[in-house]
Amino acid sequence: MNNDYYYMLRALKLAQRGRFTTTPNPNVGCVIVSDNKIIGEGWHHRTGEPHAEIYALQMAGQKAKGSTVYITLEPCSHYGYMPPCCHALVASDVSRVVVAMQDPNPQVSGKGLTFLQEAGIEVNCGIMRKSAEALNYGFLKRMRTGLPWIQLKLACSLDGKTAMNNGDSYWITSIASRRDVQYLRAQSSAILTSSVTVINDNPSLTVRWNELDEKIRDQLDERNIRQPVRIVIDSQQQITTKHRLINQPGETWLMRQKIDKKKWPHNVKQIVVPLCGEKLDLIAMMMLIGKRQINNILVEAGAHLAGSLIQARLIDELIIYLSPKLFGDKARSLCILPELKYLKDAVQLSFKDIRMIGSDIRLILTP
């Protein structure tokens, strides 16, 4: 394998370590090499803390002079929570910087690379770009479109049902599938649901440490688990402080037509969303969420919201946990979509991944 690919692969693996903690920042890894030996490496842990390059430079120390630096994302050239990484690279007198992809933020894209080149550093960009992009799909989409990456998670029986007619649905899927959902939650910036689901199920919508896979727990300290923002579509102002998710760690956002004057806990925000007809405008809502730096959303809701999001073409990935059970024709359906006359008008999806999770099958589909 070409040395550049070998060391960039290592940087990508380091970047993966931040996928549970870095949001709203991207996942970034860095490796510093001198005489074909790794002398420094690091990854970005969370917003407000040093970037991957800084950790790697600290590890390399004086040995960084004349080295080659591999970074999964273009180094920053602006002042944020931390000074620009470009300045640190120049000050360390590195000879070459290999970058997987440019920063997608149009305000800074390319400026870091130009800064390094003007300082006399050799720059190569684009090595393993697709792999780097796959690590930051939510950040990329938000930077490019203003919208978060949206995953819709559903669980159903073999005949496409989500609950019995009386609402009984615990549990459709296996313990392994429910652990997998915890993994999805842990990687998500936010979890979106509806007031109907909150009223019916009274969920916590949190990442539960004891249900995470042991491999993930080995990488993280329980104290560092980042709870996703819980977002509830509550246009009729039905959510109260008595609902379980209001009093969980992390923030809860209530998406509403108007703000009420009740006294809410400090972690609860009310956000006004314009109407589209008689309902909240889902596209406008997602833009508001994107402006609040939410990179990716996991939707855990009922058939009506699921159908509305599919109709609005807002779903980037559909994740279905298929249980080997049959519920019968009177049970509740997977999602509510308008009646179609012609097969050609059906929603068309493509299979991205199919695998066994415990006794269930997990399907991942894309539009």
Positions marked catalytic: 53
- Where are the domains positioned within the chain? 3-135, 140-366
For the beta carbon of residue 129, count every other beta carbon within 10 angstroms.
15
Residues of the chain under the 50 pLDDT cut: none
What is the DSSP secondary-structure string of 210-233?
A: GGS-HHHHHHS-GGGPPPPEEEEE
Contact between 112 and 74 under an 8 Å Cβ cutoff? The reply is yes
Q: How much is the pLDDT for 80? A: 67
pLDDT digits (tens, 9 = 90+) for 272-302: 999 998 899 999 999 999 999 999 999 999 9
Q: How much is the pLDDT for 59? A: 96
3.30.70.3000, 3.40.430.10, 2.60.300.12, 3.90.330.10: CATH of 140-366: 3.40.430.10
d(CA 352, CA 296): 18
Indicate the pTM of the whole model. Answer: 0.92
3-135 folds as: Cytidine Deaminase; domain 2 (3.40.140)
Q: How much is the pLDDT for 78? A: 74
| Consecutive H or E run containing 129 | helix 129-135
Instruction: Return the percentage of the chain with pLDDT > 70, whole number.
Output: 99
pLDDT digits (tens, 9 = 90+) for 197-229: 999 999 999 999 888 888 778 877 777 788 999
- Vertex 59: Cα angle to 56 and 103 (nearest 5): 10
